[in-house]
Structure 1
Amino acid sequence: MISSGGSDGAEISDRQLFGEVKLALSRLSGRRLSKIEVEGPFLRSKLAWKIAVYQQAILYRIVALGTGTIRACDADDTIVGILTARAFIETVAVLQDVATRIERHLGREDLEEIDAIIMAKIFATRDTEMVREEAKLKSTNVLTSIEALDQAFPGVLQHYNLLSERCHPNTMGHHQLFATTDRVTGTVIFSEGKRIGRERDSALTGVMLAIFVATIDG
């Protein structure tokens, strides 16, 4: 739970908000399938099968990252929570980008382009050997998708960048997280819990997007 920063009213509001986040993740978890068989609509349309396969794989990833972030934060393992929250935002951004592009081409009944989008996403990679053989499978920079998501949810990009600083082994990802220096004596005290409350807030804020995903991943 994000700390109130003071008032009981804020704490209650935060508790309610993360109750909604957990409920959204629970709903998304309930939409997961254990298997997809080539029957019914998937027998009639290979494209529908491809879209369903991609959707389910992304759905599993989103649920895993969202619940993983919450569990890590509940266990005060905030650096893991930050890492998973950052990956969660990336995944939501890519999903939204794909959904938007498919909707655009669906309106034009451009099934060939939709197929190309899905194939590129299912097999997207940065592996140099695979890209050399099939250039169109090279994954795009995730920042492009995050910037697009930021248009719908202003502040997403800024928060993603904040999490990124803590994910990388920069000063905010090591010294600022674990060390406190006495500037007079030079003594440095290390602790896993130095900024635990603030960083927990940052990680949990990232998974608020679960509420949004629950509305688009039907």
Structure 2
Amino acid sequence: MASQLKAPTELQWDDRLSANEREAVEEWNACIARLNEARAVEINIAGPFLRSRIAWKLATYQHALLHRVVALADGVAVNWNGRSVLGAMLCARALMETIAVFSFVERSAAALYEREDLGGLDAIGQNGTFATRDEALLKEFPESKATNILTYVKRFDEEVLPGFGEHYDRLSERCHPNTSGHYFMFATLNRNEGRINYSDDAAPQRSSGLILAALAVTPFVESLHPRMSDLVMKIADLQHRVAPLKDDGRSDSIE
């Protein structure tokens, strides 16, 4: 049960946000609390997973992504509450990336299920779970090369939520050690006196707007996750019907 896991930190409404943003913060905290409860603590090879190794792979990948979503939401809140604006932005951007990947997995699995493409479904679970950029590992497992995250962001922008990529780019400018990520984030120029003043956050309103806009995508996971769960069960039935497992756990057609 998810109650055995660390509860995610709630993001605090404070003086960096306007009064009309309090409700948005409360809704986001409630969303993360529900996603936290949806996380699996363990997934056993039993029931539908006993007859479908593909469904088991996809379910374990799905919940790993869900755990990452909740962990990154916790990271946003911890950094925000501690007034570490850069830390909050880094977690918010990674949260956007994870949601884009999660959405791609669900949409791709749905399309492959409709075509009854068991090989493709198996590849999503296998390669997604073990995706890597480690050159040493790729020499042995070249099929596990991780897709560039910008590919997922672009597809999510084009196929699901227009404007997603544009905001991701704005947030990336602040997350990178570019001028928006160092000088404009921490420094303020007094032109009359020729003096630079540094602070923890030189533009709190701008920073909070960027962070909240990134968090606004999170509720999408609340509809995505149950769709994926339903799809995994359908895939289990599909494999059992089309290519039932042998006694040794191997499928007649999926090696």
TM (normalized to structure 2)? Answer: 0.78
Q: Which residue matches 1:129?
A: 136
The residue correspondences of 1:114-193 to structure 2 (distance < 5 A) are: 114-151=121-158, 152-193=160-201
Which protein is richer in helix relative to its size? Answer: 1
> How far apart are residue 71 of structure 1 and its match?
3.0
Q: Which stretches in structure 1 are left out of the alignment for 5+ residues?
A: 5-10
Is 1:215 aligned to residue 223 of structure 2?
A: yes
Deviation track 1:188-212 (CA, whole Å, cap 9, x = no partner) reads 1111131123212211221111111
In our comparison, the structure showing a higher alpha carbon Rg is 2
Q: Which AA in structure 1 matches 2:107?
A: T
Contact 1:70/1:81 (CA < 8 Å) preserved in 2? yes
Q: What is the aligned residue count?
A: 211
Identity %: 37
Whether the 8 Å CA contact 1:66–1:88 is kept in 2: the answer is yes
SS in 1 for 2:188: strand
Q: Distance in 2 between matches of 1:184 and 1:173?
A: 24
State the SS of the aligned residue for 1:124: coil
Equivalent position SS for 1:210 = coil
Give, in whole Å, the separation in 2 of the partners of 1:17 and 1:104.
Answer: 34
Contact 1:18 1:208 (8 Å CA) reproduced: no
- Cα distance in 1, alignment partners of residues 190 and 164 from structure 2: 35
1:7 aligned partner: none
SS in 2 for 1:189: strand
Specify the alignment match of 1:49 in structure 2. 56
Q: Distance in 2 between matches of 1:147 and 1:175?
A: 28
Q: Distance in 2 between matches of 1:204 and 1:111?
A: 39
Q: 3-state DSSP class of the match of 2:218? A: helix
Hey, what does 2:40 align to over in structure 1? Answer: 33
Are residue 87 (structure 1) and residue 94 (structure 2) matched? yes
Give 1:119 deviation, angstroms.
Answer: 0.9
- Which of these residues, 16, 23, 34, is aligned with residue 16 of structure 1? 23
2:242 corresponds in structure 1 to none
Kept in 2, the 8 Å contact 1:89–1:209? The answer is: yes
Asked whether the 8 Å contact 1:79–1:167 carries over to 2, the reply is: yes
Give 1:184 shift: 4.3
CA deviations over 1:49-97 (Å, ceiling 9, x no partner): 1111111111000011113213322332111110000000000001111
For the aligned residues, what is the CA RMSD? Answer: 1.5
Q: Which moved more, 1:197-206 or 1:208-217?
A: 197-206
Q: 1:73 corresponds to which residue?
A: 80
- Structure 1 segments of 4 or more deviating over 4 A? none
Q: How many Å separate the matches in 2 of 1:97 and 1:193?
A: 34
